[in-house]
Amino acid sequence: MKRLIIICLLLPLLAFSSDRTTSNIMNKREQLFKQGISAYANENYVLAIELFHQLETEQIVSWELYYNLGNCYYRQSELGRAIQYWEKAKILAPIHSDIEYNLSIAREHLIDKVVLPDTFPLFTWYNTMQRHLPLNVSIRIIGILLMLFVLVLGGYRLHARKTGRSCKGICITIGSLFLAVMLLLTIITVDTAQKRSHEKRAVILEESVYILSEPADDATVLFILHEGSTVLINKDIENEWANISYFDDKIGWIRMEYLGKIES
């Protein structure tokens, strides 16, 4: 019994010490982050990159961290890396205007410019939704809609049983509305989540690279891509060679070292 009492007394202390450890880690992280900003402000971009990368190695990340890394690389004239990190930031915060703005400026520097033909407006809207949809927000919205739908349905049943009066019309209208929005959002969210989980994008980091017909240095050069162009990784061989596709129709092989992965 005595042991139990001692353990019970020690438990909060342990929790407190764990809390304190976490707090210390966070304080240290915040300090590092601030040092990074300070280095950036003093135009010491190399130091800033080093500090921000230290934070990244702690397995804890944020869109702000990626965004700042993108800025540092941009200042260092490493356009590929800058785009890579801004794209990483965009995955965590798809609708943040600063990221989109910086990316738009970076894209103006790209040498490989592809102008795609206009698509059907509905597809354009769908693609825009997918690009800008924050998954965590949409998942929550679907949950709230589901809850509201259940509330309306349950409220209708209980109200009808209690009072004997039916308010079927209103309940069906409201419920259908929730259900329709929920279904639409669910379709988009599921599709987006699947796409994002399977899609492996990467950015060309070298100024100019040859895309080859097979994973060998002496293979035929199919086309050339320049720094900052975003490609899709179809498959890779022992993390050395990657089979990439550029706008669906151009496929070839490239050494992994020339690529900066967006999705880790």
Partner 1 sequence: MVIRRRHFTFIFIFCLMISGLWAQRVTLTASKATFSIQEQIQLVFTFENIKNSPRSVDLNLHKSFTVVGGPYSSSNYSWVNGKATSSNKVIYDVIAKKTGKIKIPAYEFSIKNHVYKTNPFLITVRKTAAPGSLAEGQEMPGIYMETILPKDKVYQGETFTLYYRLYTSEQVVNYTTNPISTMDGFIVDRFSLQDSPSSTKKVINGREYLIAGIASLTLTPTESGEFILPAKPFRISVKRSGQHRSAWDDPFFGNTSKDINIVAPADTLTVLQLPGGAGSAFTGAIGDFTMRVSMDSTLIQENQATTLRVDLIGHGNMEHFTFPEQTFSDDFELFEPRVKNAYKLNGQDYKGQRSWEYVLIPGKPGTYQFDDILFTYFSLSQGSYKTLRMPLKEIRVISHNELEGDYISSLSPDEVRLLSQDIRFVQMGENHRVHLDYNAVKDPGNRVWYYLALAIAAFVIFAEILLALRDKNRNTIRYKNALKTAITQFRKIHTDQSAEEILTQIETGFQTYLSDKRIVPARYPEINDILKTIETYKYAPGSLSHAVLDALKEKALTIIEEIEKA
Q: Which is nearer to partner 1, 105 or 221 (CB)?
A: 105
> How far apart, in Å, are the Cα atoms of 193 and each of 62, 154, 197?
19, 31, 6
Nearer to partner 1, 161 or 165 (CB): 161
CA 32 to chain CA mean position, Å? 23
Rounded Cα distance between 182 and 176, Å, is 10
Residues at the site binding partner 1, with contacts judged by CB under 8 A: 29-30, 33, 37, 40, 56, 59-65, 67-68, 71-72, 74, 92, 98, 101-102, 104-106, 108-109, 111, 134-136, 139-140, 142-144, 146-147, 149-151, 153-154, 157-158, 161, 193, 197, 264
Tokens 């399977």 — which residue? 198
As a whole number of angstroms, the distance between CA 171 and CA 157 comes to: 10
Structure tokens given for 23? 């707090």
β-bridge mates for residue 225, sequence order:
209
Alpha helices in 164-219 (DSSP H): 168-198
Shortest Cβ 65–partner 1 spacing (Å): 6
**What token pair was written down for 197?**
């989980």
Q: CB count, 10 Å around CB of 229?
A: 23
Q: How far is the CB of 102 from partner 1 (least distance, A)?
A: 5
Q: How far is the CB of 156 from partner 1 (least distance, A)?
A: 10
Phi-psi region of 164 (alpha: psi -120 to 50; beta: other; left: phi over 0): left
Q: Which is nearer to partner 1, 56 or 219 (CB)?
A: 56
Rounded CA separation 230/83 (Å): 9
- In the complex with partner 1, the residue whose CB is nearer, 157 or 168, is 157
Q: Which is nearer to partner 1, 146 or 251 (CB)?
A: 146
Q: Provide, rounded to whole angstroms, the least separation between the CB of residue 55 and partner 1.
A: 9
Distance between CA atoms of 110 and 1, rounded to whole angstroms?
A: 72
CB of 165 to partner 1, least distance (A): 16
> Cβ closer to partner 1: 167 or 216?
167
Q: Which is nearer to partner 1, 140 or 168 (CB)?
A: 140
Residues 6+ apart with CB under 8 A from 71: 40, 82, 102
- For the chain, the maximum distance between any two Cα atoms, rounded to a whole number of angstroms, is 82
Distance of closest approach, residue 21 Cβ to partner 1, in angstroms: 16
The least distance separating partner 1 from the CB of residue 111, rounded to whole angstroms, comes to 7
